[in-house]
Each structure stands twice: as structure tokens, then as C-alpha cells.
Amino acid sequence: MTAPGIKTAPTAFDDSFARCITDGLSRTPKEIACKYFYDAEGSALFDAICALPEYYQTRTEVALLRRHAGEIAALIGAEAEIVEFGAGALRKVRILLDALERPCGYTPIDISGAYLRDVVRRLAADYPKLTLRPMVADFTMPLHVPAMAGAARRGGFFPGSTIGNFRPDAAMALLRRMRDMLDGGGLLIGVDLVKDPALLHAAYNDAAGVTAAFNKNLLARANRELDADFDLDAFANYAPYNPTAQRIEMYLVSLKRQSVQLSGRTVEFATGEAVHTEDSHKYSIESFREIAARAGFLPRAVWTDESRLFSIHWLESR
Ligand code: TRP
């Protein structure tokens, strides 16, 4: 039997993309939920974002992981199972696995089955003793992950400041569920920090236009998968920093009055009408520790770079 929340048929998610985009575009204001960014094209564009000079997040987080790997490994403990929420760049989890003492297993949870197969294939050769347990599931939904035989403790891994892509109330609810799942272990989580708005703005509005292409890939994906006819040149990417809400807000803005065909329906756009695609919330170290504590974690350790661009937290699940 399949545990609740675990979908093994990837088509289930394709249906939900269709439903989400048609629902979202019939709302006022229009929106498309962010988890649909990451199809094969979107993942490749995101890898390109991570290498951009303006996108300081990835290189800062990787440097922090490298610099503090020993200390992090000691906090997680020996014979741990690593549970990654959203299988991201393997580069990051490899740093962790290489530093841990006799890691027992790796459980990546991702909505893309194809991506997970690739992850497992690439890790299996280098970590022959590691139990690999890929789970095709939406980690934003309630999910039961059974204990792994032989694991002394569970260490959650949630890098990339993905937590920032949830509204604070949803972030708190997600952290609370993670806390329950990691009972007795802990969570290693990367969190982007509040800073000079000009630096934040540049990180999401790169000169080469890769972030714009990434945002527009939602429309391209609808063209590929849902037989839609979005004209990508008739939409602009617009991603301002909202300093009072402390978040980047991402939009696709219609540059003209237009109608778009989508799954047999017609969607009307006015000139200047915006589709909200994603937010990226920023925290201070203190404000993040506070929401972690309210979610039931004990914030144990935090690492940051000299310029305080990014933070990594180790939160214990008591
Ligand atoms: N979570 C990361 C962030 O908010 C990555 C990310 C998600 C992202 N969506 C994005 C980066 C869109 C650039 C553009 O920074």
C-alpha cells in the first residue's frame, strides 16, 4: 500500500498543474503556484540562476556548508538518515554526506520522479553503503516517512532558502510538520537574510535575463504540456523587493490586452495586468529563530558569512 501523500504516478502532478494554472488564472488578481517552476527546463534554468554573479545565495550557502561541515556533522551525529525536502543540487548534499560519520541513508523527497531517478543513479556509484530511498511526493502535503532500519537519528535538510518561498504562516505550518517528522533529530535549513534592497533586487533581476526566462518558463511549460498559446514576448518579468513585507515578489505582467487559449478555455489579460508567480521572503537570524521556536524546534546553532548575506540553521526537534 502507498502511504498517504505519496504519489507514485507522476501524471497526478501534471493534472494538478493544469488545474492550478486554470484556477489561478481565473482569480483576481491572477496567480500561478511556484512549485510548477521545476520541470526539466525550469530545473536547468534554475541551475543557471545559481551560477549567476548576482545570485549570491548558492555560492554563499555552499561555502558555509563546506566551512562548517565538521561541526554540522557532529551535531547531526553518526549513522544518520538524511531526509532532503525537494531534491536540489547534489553538490550540497554531497558536502553533508562526505562529512557525516557512517551516514546510514538518504531520503530525497521531490515531486519529480524523473529527477529523483537521476539523483539516485548518480549517488549510488559514489556511496555504495548508503541506503537510497527516493520518495516521489509533495513535501508541502502531510507525509509519512517510515523510520529507516539502522538509522540512529534523522537529519532533515532544506537548503536554498526554499522556506522563503512560503508565506510566513505556511512556512510555520511546514516547519511544524517537519519537526514532527524529524522527532528526536533535527533540521539543517538555509535561510536568506534581509539586507540592502539593491542587492536583493539585483539577485532576482539579473542582467542576463535568466531569472526572467525562469519565471516565463511557467508559460512555456503551459504551452508544452497544456496546449496553451502564450506569447512569451507579450509578458514582462517584474520582481520588485517589498521592504515592509521583506520579500521579493515575482510577477509576469501582460504587455498588452490579449486573450490566451489554455486547456480549451480563453483567458483574458488587460494591458499591465499581473500574474503573481512567487514570493521570496527574507528573515533576520533572530526572526527566523523565533518562527522556528514557535514551530516547536529548539534553535541550536547558526552559521553566517562575514557579510551576513545568508544563514544556515541547525534546529533540534526535541
Ligand atoms: N528559494 C530560492 C529563492 O527564493 C530559489 C528560487 C525560487 C528562485 N524561485 C526563484 C530564485 C525564482 C530566482 C527566481 O531565492
C-alpha cell recorded at residue 166:
512560503
* E runs forming strands in the chain: 30-31, 80-85, 105-110, 131-132, 135-136, 153-158, 186-192, 235-238, 241-242, 247-254, 258-262, 265-269, 274-281, 297-304, 310-317
Give the residue from 262, 269, 237, 263 showing the smallest Cα distance to 250.
237
Q: pLDDT confidence of 1, banded at 50, 70, 90?
A: very low
C-alpha cell recorded at residue 127:
556511496
Q: Which of 195, 201, 204 to mutate to test the pocket of ligand 1 (most atoms within 8 A of CB)?
A: 204
Element spanning 18, H or E: helix 11-25
Q: What is the pLDDT of residues 81-100, one digit of tens each?
A: 999 999 877 999 999 999 99
Average of per-residue pLDDT across 176-190: 95
Please provide the average confidence, as pLDDT, over all residues in the chain: 92
Looking at the DSSP bridge assignments, the partners of residue 238 are: 251
Of ligand 1's listed atoms, the one at least distance from the Cα of 161 is: 1
Q: Which of 49, 62, 276 to mutate to test the pocket of ligand 1 (most atoms within 8 A of CB)?
A: 49
Nearest CA to ligand 1 atom 6: 162
pTM, whole model, 2 decimals? 0.92
Q: What is the pLDDT of residues 97-125, one digit of tens each?
A: 999 999 999 999 998 888 899 899 999 99
Q: Which of 60, 161, 166, 280 to mutate to test the pocket of ligand 1 (most atoms within 8 A of CB)?
A: 280
Amino acid letter, residue 105: G
Distance from residue 137's CA to the centre of ligand 1 (Å) = 20
Q: What is the pLDDT of residues 37-55, one digit of tens each?
A: 888 888 889 999 999 999 9
Of ligand 1's listed atoms, the one at least distance from the Cα of 162 is: 1
